[in-house]
Amino acid sequence: MKSCSPFTATVLVAALLAACGNPPPPLDPDAGIAETLRPDEAPRAISGEFAMPTIAAPNAQSTLYVAHLRNQKGQAIAGARTMLLQNRPASDYMREPVRRDVIATYKSPKHGRVHFMATADNKPKYLLITGNGFQPTLIDLKSAAPGSTDERTVRIEITPICTMIILDHRGYLVDNALVTMKPAPGSKPMRVVGSGNVGTSQRSDDAGEVKFTRPIGRYVVIASNSNYKGKIQTTIDWDGDPAPIEVTL
């Protein structure tokens, strides 16, 4: 059998690539891996420099959105849950938008930069910053024009996280408990997103744990089990201590 010359092999490879067409650009174009927080770490402000991989430029069918998350001191914000949305969410869905509206989700690494590559459909896009430690913040972005880049710095502060463990009268953990933590009458009001108790209520997880993003202050705590039984109401003065608070139904 005759072997192909280097020239012949090159021609064959070129012909094969031409027949297949150029592959589309990757949705996540980071070249390299950014340093991130551990999954169990709370969000925090980062001082110092961390490697920031290069982002590929958008092509004629895509739009690149880049946001550098910083606090007022200029520190990078790591651990923020960010989402690129194709529709503006209603106030009751600011913490968890309707799934069909979410194009992509990205948790900010230690360098504080998040980025998304979207289809260039010339329609408005929105950046939602949320998650434990952050009051939901929605930012209007530029429409997704072909080959364009929208890069900006976003100022955002980390808010303390209040953790509660819900127990029944026997001391067992209560999952799916409905827990509300809202400002006590006469206390300094916090910015609440949503109507009624939306934005102030959460469900406990399988370990009976529930987390609230709250500034230091005086709060009314209301809790009940998944059947709305065993309801209790109490008032607490929370000083921002991250240690879990036990709530017994």
Question: Residue 196: its pLDDT value, please?
Answer: 40
CATH code of the domain covering residue 104? 2.60.40.2190
Which residue's entry shows tokens 């009001």?
189
Residue 34 has pLDDT above 90, yes or no: no
Residue 28 has pLDDT above 50, yes or no: no
Whether residue 17 is contained in a domain is answered as: no
Residue 234 has pLDDT above 50, yes or no: yes
Residue 239 has pLDDT above 50, yes or no: yes
Q: Whole domain around residue 168: which residue ranges?
A: 161-248
Q: Clarify whether residues 118 and 169 are in a common domain.
A: no
CATH code of the domain covering residue 230? 2.60.40.1120
pTM of the entire predicted model? 0.70
- Residue-wise pLDDT for 56-85, tens only, equals 999 999 999 999 999 999 999 999 999 999
Average pLDDT of the residues in 183-196: 62
pLDDT band at 175 (very low <50, low <70, confident <90, very high): very high
Residue 232 has pLDDT above 50, yes or no: yes
Q: Clarify whether residues 61 and 172 are in a common domain.
A: no
Question: Residue 2: its pLDDT value, please?
Answer: 45
Residue 214 has pLDDT above 70, yes or no: yes
> For the chain, what is the mean pLDDT?
82
pLDDT band at 222 (very low <50, low <70, confident <90, very high): very high
Residue finishing a domain among 155, 187, 219: 155
How many domains is the chain built from?
2
